[in-house]
Amino acid sequence: MKWPILLLPLLVLVFAEDELPLAELCDEEQCKLPECRCSSTDIPGGLPARDTPQFVLLTFDDGVNTVNMPTYRSILYGRRNSNNCPIGVTYFVNHEYTDYTLTNELYNMGFEIALHSISHQTPQDYWRDATYDDMMREFGDQIIQMSHFGSIPRDTIKGIRIPFLQLAGNETYRMMADANLLYDCTWPTISHTDPGLWPYTLHYASIQDCQIPPCPTASVPGPWILPMIAWFDLNNTPCSMVDACFFIPDRENEEEWFKFIVGNFERHYLGNRAPFGFYVHEWFIRAYPAVQRALVRFMDLVNSLNDAYMVNAHEVIEWVQNPVPVNEYARRACRHTVPSPCRQTSCGPVRAEHTENLYYMQVCSACPNVYPWLGNPLGN
Ligand code: ZN
């Protein structure tokens, strides 16, 4: 009978090696802005909804290249919010088939360049099972890669979205804390949509529903969660990416699409004003011109409202850290991006070491020796 008692501490030690202790329930007294926020649908700063800016986050995933740039240039450039400040848009960019000179152009236009991994590899289980080291090679190293090839200032790279929205438990967030990344926009919620879940930190246990496990369970001070609040399609089925909604209006019907978008927007705007996400891939709005026109009409609507703002994703986190009423927010100085020069260089053919493929790259730096990849993000 003595053995089990002796064995118990040993077992705890074995578990402790890969299983971090569970985070505690959030303590509102201990967890204070700007560093800490409990997961909650409460509006930051205790503001009433009518005084809260309705942030609108338009994000595009995957490679930036000559295929998708015409859309970005034609519908986003020169667009302004009602306070005459340029709008924000966030790009979650993965490395393969990205033209870094065009990524640099998007940055110089004032948009946010965020990370979507170096490899974006399949199968999805790779991401589910990713270790701390895997995540550091996919995202930590991508900061170095993006700043080098795209001439994007390192300290402006703040956010990530994991491919396939596949969370990897605590490891992602431990990596983010160490790599000094501010926020993750990967985690969908379908339970906290009305009222919507505002961004929060992982100092304490999260109340968020875990749709694509494993979700983080440990206390990881530092990074913020920017929840992907689901849309609801015409059949009330939740969807995290607009192009993944199933029961949608006819893709040729602009009017129905406009109503569909506005209907989802109003759940936020007429509710607790949690940030509204329009999360999409460019191919979807390129393939369906009526959808694109509906998006443009929606942006025109948002840009005419004096309490709704299209912003870069990291600006939402910064507002949550230091919430101010919308009338004060509207009067603030606009974001100012100092253009980062790009010495455009065409490279190739560049041989990949992980496959036998040859690649052509457009970069703002000297050409790499081999195709940059995991473990060799600069292609030395
Ligand atoms: Zn992707």
Q: Model confidence over 166-178: pLDDT tens digits?
A: 999 999 999 999 9
Instruction: Say how many Å lie between the CA of residue 298 and the centre of ligand 1.
Output: 24
Residue 246 predicted with pLDDT over 70: yes
Instruction: Say how many Å lie between the CA of residue 162 and the centre of ligand 1.
Output: 8
Which residues make Cβ contacts (< 8 Å) with residue 162, sequence separation at least 6? 116, 117, 127, 168, 172, 184, 186
Instruction: Say how many Å lie between the CA of residue 332 and the centre of ligand 1.
Output: 34
CA-to-CA separations, 192 to 11, 40, 229, in angstroms, rounded: 37, 9, 7
Domain covering 31-41+50-343: architecture: Alpha-Beta Barrel (3.20)
Distance in angstroms (rounded) separating the CA atoms of residues 354 and 144:
20
pTM of whole model > 0.85? yes
Instruction: Say how many Å lie between the CA of residue 44 and the centre of ligand 1.
Output: 30
Residue 4 predicted with pLDDT over 90: no
Name the token pair of 164: 């396939």
Average pLDDT over every residue of 191-215: 98
Residue 310 predicted with pLDDT over 50: yes
Instruction: Say how many Å lie between the CA of residue 11 and the centre of ligand 1.
Output: 40
Instruction: Say how many Å lie between the CA of residue 72 and the centre of ligand 1.
Output: 17
- Could you tell me what percent of the chain has a pLDDT over 70? 95
Q: Angle between the 141-150 and 100-108 helix axes, to the nearest 10 degrees?
A: 80
Helix (H, G, I), strand (E, B) or coil at 55: strand
**pLDDT attached to residue 165:** 98
Q: Angle between the 289-304 and 69-76 helix axes, to the nearest 10 degrees?
A: 40
Per-residue pLDDT tens over the stretch 28-56: 999 999 999 999 999 999 999 999 999 99
Instruction: Say how many Å lie between the CA of residue 60 and the centre of ligand 1.
Output: 9
The mean pLDDT value of the chain amounts to 95
**pLDDT attached to residue 18:** 59
Average pLDDT over every residue of 71-83: 98
Which residues make Cβ contacts (< 8 Å) with residue 75, sequence separation at least 6? 285, 292, 295, 296, 299
Average pLDDT over every residue of 121-148: 98
Instruction: Say how many Å lie between the CA of residue 179 and the centre of ligand 1.
Output: 21
Instruction: Say how many Å lie between the CA of residue 155 and the centre of ligand 1.
Output: 23
Instruction: Say how many Å lie between the CA of residue 283 and the centre of ligand 1.
Output: 12
Residue 14 predicted with pLDDT over 70: no
pLDDT band at 1 (very low <50, low <70, confident <90, very high): very low
pLDDT band at 278 (very low <50, low <70, confident <90, very high): very high
Distance in angstroms (rounded) separating the CA atoms of residues 57 and 59:
6
Average pLDDT over every residue of 273-299: 98
Instruction: Say how many Å lie between the CA of residue 166 and the centre of ligand 1.
Output: 11
Instruction: Say how many Å lie between the CA of residue 379 and the centre of ligand 1.
Output: 22
Are 60 and 91 a contacting pair, CB within 8 Å? Answer: yes
**pLDDT attached to residue 55:** 99
Residue 279 predicted with pLDDT over 80: yes
pLDDT band at 9 (very low <50, low <70, confident <90, very high): very low
Instruction: Say how many Å lie between the CA of residue 111 and the centre of ligand 1.
Output: 18
Instruction: Say how many Å lie between the CA of residue 244 and the centre of ligand 1.
Output: 12
Residue 376: strand pairing partners: 373
Beta strands 159-160 and 345-351: pairing type? unpaired
pLDDT band at 19 (very low <50, low <70, confident <90, very high): confident
